[in-house]
Structure 1
Amino acid sequence: MKALFTTTCYTAILILILTTATLAQTTGIVRGIVKTSDGSPASYVTVSLVESKKGTTTTEDGTFTLSSVTPGTYTLRITFVGLQPQTKTVTVSAGQTTTINFILSENASQLDEVEVTGQTKGVTIGKAGLAPLDVPQMTGVVSNIVIENQQISRLGDALRNVSGVSLTQQRQGVSETISARGYSIGVGGGSGSIFKNGILTNTSGYPEASTLESVEVLKGASSLLYGNVSGGLIVNMVTKKPRYDWGGDVSMRVGSFGLYKPIVDLYGPLTKNLAFRVIGTYEKSNSYRDIVKTDRLYVNPSLLYKFSQKTTLLVEGDYLNAKLTPDFGVGAVIVNTVSQIPSDIPRSRFINVAWAYNNMKQGSASATLTHQFNDRWKVNVIAGGQQTDIDSYGAGVPNSVAANGTWNRSLSRGLTSERNSTLQANLTGRFNTGSIGHQLLFGADRVGVTTTSNSFSIISGGKAVTTYDQINILNPLGAERTDIPEATAYARTTSPSVRTGIYVQDLIALSNKVKVLGGVRWSSQKTVQTTIRDLATGAETRGATADKVDQAFSPKVALIYQPLQTTSFFASYANNFVINSGIDVNGQVLAPSIVDQYEAGVKNEFFSGRLTANLGVYRIRNSNLAQMALFAADGTPNANTNVRELTGQTTSDGLEVDITGTLSRNAYFIVGYGYNYMRYTKTSDAKGSYLEGERLTNNPAHTGNATLFYTFDQPGLRGLKVGASAFYTGARFGGYNNTKGQTQTDRRIPLSAFTTLDLTAGYSWKNVTLLAKLSNITNELNYLIHDNYSINPIPPRQYTATLSYKF
């Protein structure tokens, strides 16, 4: 059925191409490229024929094409937020292509400053370099100026500025989990939905956000470009790049609970063709949580070499050493089989052992080779890898705390590593068949992820530790144990996986107003049988599950209608696939689940990009959700939870609104709203199946964000900056979804809605800037939850201040 659908879509596209190609001899084409004064491409510049009202936007490589232009003489005009418009006269002839180019007076660095201020930069994670109005799905970009003004250090705090995105929690609070459209993405490379510079990344220990150029988000299904990724969103962190002019800045950030954080950023040319950039930061702080401490060092060096004006090599690396205190939050008690957050427990109470630790070392490196064949064709090849090592020790999971608060603490020791490798190649080009324009992407990628984990025996007093001690989380009186029992690794498990894909996508401009985007990806994901090594004898055994290969086709088709050069309506179909564990009733490996997404929306860019207003609606349906089979192959009731069938269903419906504006070079605002209804819509009658109609946990129905910043330039107030940001998370449930036949009354933990409000003020004089923020000024108390045990309160009212000097 999927193959038939894809074939039908491409057949329809081919018919449209053939029938409209006859127009080629009666109209003409205008094509060109817009560059900066230093020869770099000027992306996302608006290009229009004044008399005909036809228009488009330059792509990532600075090129533009206006098709189906009636012969005649026109005024070609280019505009960009914050810049003076430029015009040229162009004559169009029937059946001919007219080429006309522009060179801006600004260089690439100056244009980048304007892009950041204007909030108009496109999403490079889309790979094809499409203009924002040509991308048929909702996106989000958090620019460096937002990161600086809000004094953001964590990825999750940056993503609060994207509509429909909310934070949940990771086990022990040592990293973040992000949710959108009812789906969440976690920290490991195996989850495959968080990238850095387009390369898969592990985000354990919190990635350093204060040094990023931007954070990009593609919402919804993105399997066409990336394979097995979340159906809710993918995130790309874009690091700052080398520059061929000398400059940089140094800053010191201080804040509540003993925070101090120096940041250094230095860039410049080493030779005529070689530029560098080095960014480093060190962070040390206590916490509003007792015992909890943070100690982090981050370094990000990079080099950019120009072999020629057409060929560049970018080499990047980074290193993060993060020492964190694992924190289960305030805990939950079980009252009449229901988990509840104690109402009178202070926000600061720490329930892990006092000596608990989570130490992470992470290094990554990548190389990106880009070659521009001409103004229309470009290829880039990216290779990279990452190594993440985590050494942790502390209390076990607090998921069995009695109603009176007593908890028998066990211990858990961890020593894990994850090694990721990525290789991808992308060819992009623009060409015409008659009067029909094409923007083509063809690519392939390979991602390998190998995880290694150690199993430990914990010995105290000559015997294995099952209970370390007992505490009362409601009334922690008396001395706790402080000794650290010996933990000895006895086995090491290695789990490799490899996923590969080949994809093609074409944006077809049937006219200046009607475009069709079509594409398909073939993916193959191999999960290799685990290897278990006995560390005492060196003997190796293989895991119970044999090698498993999953394959899937991921099509995408979209219709785009642009009645004006500033407005774009779109409707699209795409899918994602989800890898399943277990076997079917016949003992065969369970096939992937195919998740269908339907999305429609409208995007607008007004006042030369100073104001954008976008709205999207979607439905995401997994019609073959894996759930426990009701009957075995012989018709008898099935009691094996590993025997499953693709008969369940979840449905996620929602709406997203994004409005951003640059009122002037002094002021900008961001407003976003998201609604989501993710629930089970079909389940089996088997014991342990989920309840139909129940909303999935950790998914608020409503989220919202609003930010406004203004910098004064009037005499007497020049250099003064003020700003405010508000973030809303609606009511939701933590814990676990209810199942049929469960013994508990309700496995969910209700969480109320909450809003946090931040106020910022700052002052700049020459090259010196002082910025101060008071966050959560109402001292709102709420929680982020992982399952039913890591119940971490949000930060209370606190201040942050940054003093910086730019040179």
Structure 2
Amino acid sequence: MKGRHTFFTALFILVSWGALAQTGTIKGTVKTSDGLSTEFVNVALKGTLKGDITDKDGNYEITNIPEGKYVLTCSYIGLTTKERNISINANETLVVDFQLSKSAIQLSEVTVRDKRKNKFYEDSSFTISKLPLKDLENPQVYNSVTREVLNEQVVTNFNDALKNATGITRLWESTGRGGDGAEFFSMRGFSVQPTMVNGMPSVNNGGLDPANVESIDVIKGPSGTLFGSPMISYGGLINVTTKKPYEAFGGSVNFINGSNGLNRLTADVNVPLSETTFTRVNAAYHSQNSFQDAGFSKSFFVAPSFKIKSSERLTFHINTELRSSESANAPMIFLNRNAPLSFNSIDIFEKNYTNSFTSNELSIQNPSFGLQAQAFYKLNEKWTSQTVLSRSNTKTNGYYHYLWDATDGDNFTRFISKRNGETNTTDIQQNFIGDFRIGGFRNRMIIGLDYFKSNILNGSTGWIGNGTVSLSTGEDTGLLTRAGVNSLLADSFEGNSSGENEVMSAYVSDVINFTPSLSAMASVRVDRFSSKSSGDDVISGQTAVSPKFGLVYQPIKEKVSIFANYMNGFVNIAPTEVSDVDGSNPRLKTFDPENANQYEAGVKTNIFNNRISATASYYYITVKDRVMTDPNNINNSIQGGEVESKGIELSLIANPVNGLNLIAGYSNNQSEVTKDNPEGGYLGLRPEEAGPESLINFWANYTIQSGVLQGLGFGFGGNSASEHKTLNRATTGTFTLPAYDIFNAALSYKANQYSIILKANNLTNQKYYTGWSTVTPQNLRNISVSLNYKF
């Protein structure tokens, strides 16, 4: 790995050094002439792109302002616009308050109401901790990728969005198959899928569309205490916070055209229906071909959302998402997990880099639907009730195939099936969220009940062999037409089956401020899990207790925090049929939940007038009670397997000078199977799901702030990964995917209402791979143009 990360490491150091540039801050409060705080007022520095919108209390803050003289404007529909001449020095915090009166022109049309109320539930930071905690107050580590970053980088898919988060990389692309057809990523040594929307379960079997994303929150560590077991990973979880309606008319239209036949049209329209009801609709049409010789994806997505303010105490939020998609995916190329490796070089795969080994006729459809309804009722000044209903439905209908290593150093056998399945989830939560004092100590507490149910239906064909693929010659003897495959599968059927899981939970979490600078978090969850399949009675029942503790000390209040946490996660294990060593006495065996425990410590900063936000931490995770084969009976399974994962993470977001935005991250993970049946082949080795040991992400974007070139912007960055042992077993050997460095760049022009961005990915056209006992080529150089208009 020496020398592989030199360029990215130098950029990371440059970011840290450059972030120390000296700028100032302007903040203040906006009120109406009758003394009411006013939300959604636009406060901006005239002639620049710097500005802010007031919050529920009328407060605004503009940071990273170079010293000099400016005109500060304050405007809102129906109120008079005001301007102030100001002068700011380096490291100065200037307070400028405004009082706006009603405009004579619109006086009869506009009523300004008192909007002072707690709106923490509209912020993703609330979702992350289920409490109104700022990042510096939260003992857990997370990265948030905002929609501004997605727009700036012309992001059109979920994987490219997550390349901005520290310590996460994709293992598998979406397969579209039922149950787990979404993408798999690796985080802190463990595989994870995106399964949460607004902190609630939302399952999909295909890709996610970024059109409705306000932010993507990558929450680190086993988070079973707050989020339960069905949807999390020991490495963390991926949550999507969706766009919410706001109380003014506005929106945007965006068109993206690019390589491989990319055509994408999105629209975002927000409309106040009345003084108390607001709606926002996000929609996207996407069509794109593969960089290989066959393959495509196309989808239509629409997400209507509503906000209803029934009273000053009661607010409803309703979010829906509907996606219709179809894709022809290249088959996964699996190395044989049960025989010694017959490959020792990536060369033979590189020779077939652009061969898809599929056809556009062998497509799969993945329609999905999601609904979330939340009611927030302010019981009093100290307590708020949150009632949530979440439903998701995703279907699979079409062809899924994969290539399996024949262990002769050349050939792969294709297996194909026509999948027909459906996954439904329901989640109901009742939370009581409090902010109160006991004995002079501030407490922020959540008390909650959670009911989760999932149902998986399957009525697919069986798996049929469909020819072989030679990597040395590229010859494919399989049938790649829909009619031909249908004839192969004509008499094949797996039968109708179903599986159902239910989880009932109760949890409580409390953050106590012993002093303004010292706080502690104590949390616990109790889960009762049950499952059944295909008409059987309940065949599994498990109870799990999951604690969580955290400690935060801010030596410099609102600037620096030192934190430590203990976090627990667990997975309910499905029953397994076992027998005696001679095959007699068959029986169903149940297990205890598998458990993970994390210990982590680190530091967070938000310094230099909020210009540097950084996090550095060290974590140590142990997983116990993993199911493994009984060393004394191959027909029996026992618990006792253990995995250890530890590492460091460094994340940085900075605005060192006016117009310059920087994102950087570095992670190093060491994972090992520490206890297992030696004959299993994993003992003492790095798990294949752990991904590359080292990951680096970086992005810098600079926009000229004044002069004839004002609005012209330049972006540059990329991702780097160490080598990855995609297959790593003593019984088979080790196959390593090479390390890689990928560079991207952007050129943009932004005006008040429109922007044009030219984006190039993988500038050096590097061939690189991902995998999880698989070898999957990644996209080559591609270019896109984004045209955006705001209204």
What's the TM-score bracket when you normalise by the shorter of the two chains?
0.7 to 0.9
- Structure 2 spans left out of the alignment, 5+ residues: 1-27, 41-54, 66-71, 73-95, 101-111, 581-586
Residues 421-440 of structure 1: pairs in structure 2 closer than 5 A = 421-440=426-445
Is residue 2:167 matched to residue 1:167? Answer: no
Partner of 1:181: 188
With over 3 angstroms needed to count, the CA separation of the structure-2 counterparts of 1:290 and 1:333, relative to structure 1, is farther
Residues 93-112 of structure 1: pairs in structure 2 closer than 5 A = none
Partner of 2:531: 527
Partner of 2:456: 451
Post-superposition shift, 1:305? 0.8
Post-superposition shift, 1:570? 1.2
Q: Which residue identity does 1:793 align to in structure 2?
A: P
| Range that drifts further, 161-170 or 449-458 | 449-458
Partner of 1:17: none
- Percent pairwise identity: 22
| Range that drifts further, 231-240 or 173-182 | 173-182
Q: 2:672·2:685 contact (CA, 8 Å) conserved in 1?
A: yes
Q: What SS does the corresponding residue of 1:158 show, helix, strand or coil?
A: helix
Is residue 2:663 matched to residue 1:670? Answer: yes
Is residue 2:753 matched to residue 1:767? Answer: yes
Q: What SS does the corresponding residue of 2:366 show, helix, strand or coil?
A: strand
- Counting matched residue pairs gives 677
Partner of 1:250: 253
Q: What SS does the corresponding residue of 2:325 show, helix, strand or coil?
A: strand
CA distance in 1: counterparts of 2:659 and 2:211, whole angstroms: 22
Q: 1:582·1:644 contact (CA, 8 Å) conserved in 2?
A: no
Is residue 2:693 matched to residue 1:701? Answer: yes
With over 3 angstroms needed to count, the CA separation of the structure-2 counterparts of 1:571 and 1:274, relative to structure 1, is same
- The one of 383, 386, 389 equivalent to 1:383 is 389
Q: Which residue identity does 2:155 align to in structure 1?
A: I
Q: What SS does the corresponding residue of 1:146 show, helix, strand or coil?
A: helix
- The one of 634, 643, 646 equivalent to 1:639 is 634
With over 3 angstroms needed to count, the CA separation of the structure-2 counterparts of 1:170 and 1:79, relative to structure 1, is closer
TM-score by length of 2: 0.80
CA distance in 1: counterparts of 2:422 and 2:202, whole angstroms: 13
Q: What SS does the corresponding residue of 1:491 show, helix, strand or coil?
A: coil
Is residue 2:280 matched to residue 1:286? Answer: no
Q: What SS does the corresponding residue of 1:551 show, helix, strand or coil?
A: strand
Q: Which residue identity does 1:738 align to in structure 2?
A: R
CA distance in 2: counterparts of 1:623 and 1:362, whole angstroms: 35
- The one of 417, 422, 426 equivalent to 1:417 is 422
Q: Deviations over 1:552-574 (max 9, x none)?
A: 11111122211111111111212
Partner of 1:601: 602
Q: Which residue identity does 1:661 align to in structure 2?
A: A
Post-superposition shift, 1:690? 2.3
Is residue 2:506 matched to residue 1:508? Answer: no
Q: What SS does the corresponding residue of 1:778 show, helix, strand or coil?
A: coil
Residues 315-394 of structure 1: pairs in structure 2 closer than 5 A = 315-328=318-331, 337-339=341-343, 341=346, 342-352=348-358, 355-394=361-400
Q: Deviations over 1:311-346 (max 9, x none)?
A: 211111111111111212567699963345425423
Is residue 2:568 matched to residue 1:568? Answer: no
Is residue 2:729 matched to residue 1:726? Answer: no
Partner of 1:158: 161
- The one of 725, 731, 742 equivalent to 1:756 is 742
Is residue 2:645 matched to residue 1:652? Answer: yes
Partner of 2:17: none
Q: 1:526·1:548 contact (CA, 8 Å) conserved in 2?
A: yes
Q: Which residue identity does 2:422 align to in structure 1?
A: S
CA distance in 2: counterparts of 1:195 and 1:34, whole angstroms: 36
Partner of 1:141: 144
Q: Deviations over 1:122-146 (max 9, x none)?
A: 3632211112111102111101100
With over 3 angstroms needed to count, the CA separation of the structure-2 counterparts of 1:692 and 1:40, relative to structure 1, is farther
Partner of 1:92: none
CA distance in 2: counterparts of 1:265 and 1:676, whole angstroms: 39
With over 3 angstroms needed to count, the CA separation of the structure-2 counterparts of 1:448 and 1:720, relative to structure 1, is same
CA distance in 1: counterparts of 2:185 and 2:620, whole angstroms: 20
Q: What SS does the corresponding residue of 2:274 show, helix, strand or coil?
A: coil
Post-superposition shift, 1:149? 0.5
Post-superposition shift, 1:104? 8.6
Post-superposition shift, 1:782? 1.0
Q: Which residue identity does 2:427 align to in structure 1?
A: T
Partner of 2:269: 266
CA distance in 1: counterparts of 2:518 and 2:56, whole angstroms: 22
Q: Deviations over 1:401-450 (max 9, x none)?
A: 45363344343111010001111122111111222111111112111110
Partner of 2:779: 795
Q: Which residue identity does 1:351 align to in structure 2?
A: F
CA distance in 1: counterparts of 2:380 and 2:434, whole angstroms: 9
Q: 1:558·1:571 contact (CA, 8 Å) conserved in 2?
A: yes
CA distance in 2: counterparts of 1:479 and 1:580, whole angstroms: 40
CA distance in 2: counterparts of 1:233 and 1:104, whole angstroms: 44
Q: Which residue identity does 1:521 align to in structure 2?
A: R
Q: Deviations over 1:331-372 (max 9, x none)?
A: 769996334542542321011355211111101111111122
Q: 1:698·1:734 contact (CA, 8 Å) conserved in 2?
A: no
CA distance in 2: counterparts of 1:598 and 1:61, whole angstroms: 37
With over 3 angstroms needed to count, the CA separation of the structure-2 counterparts of 1:269 and 1:251, relative to structure 1, is same
Post-superposition shift, 1:152? 1.2
Post-superposition shift, 1:471? 4.0
Post-superposition shift, 1:257? 1.0
| Range that drifts further, 33-42 or 336-345 | 33-42
- The one of 758, 765, 769 equivalent to 1:779 is 765
| Range that drifts further, 366-375 or 466-475 | 466-475
Q: What SS does the corresponding residue of 1:639 show, helix, strand or coil?
A: strand
Q: What SS does the corresponding residue of 2:312 show, helix, strand or coil?
A: coil
Q: 1:330·1:345 contact (CA, 8 Å) conserved in 2?
A: no
CA distance in 1: counterparts of 2:64 and 2:205, whole angstroms: 39
Post-superposition shift, 1:39? 6.1
Q: Deviations over 1:589-626 (max 9, x none)?
A: 11112211101111111134221121111100123332
Q: 1:391·1:414 contact (CA, 8 Å) conserved in 2?
A: yes
Q: What SS does the corresponding residue of 1:147 show, helix, strand or coil?
A: helix
CA distance in 2: counterparts of 1:259 and 1:356, whole angstroms: 20
Partner of 2:542: 550
Q: Deviations over 1:269-309 (max 9, x none)?
A: 01111111111110112121111111111001111111123
TM-score by length of 1: 0.78
Q: What SS does the corresponding residue of 1:575 show, helix, strand or coil?
A: strand
Q: CA RMSD in A?
A: 3.2
Partner of 1:308: 311
| Range that drifts further, 425-434 or 699-708 | 425-434
Partner of 1:475: 473
Q: 2:325·2:367 contact (CA, 8 Å) conserved in 1?
A: yes
CA distance in 1: counterparts of 2:187 and 2:174, whole angstroms: 19
Is residue 2:782 matched to residue 1:805? Answer: no
With over 3 angstroms needed to count, the CA separation of the structure-2 counterparts of 1:470 and 1:511, relative to structure 1, is closer
CA distance in 2: counterparts of 1:754 and 1:419, whole angstroms: 39
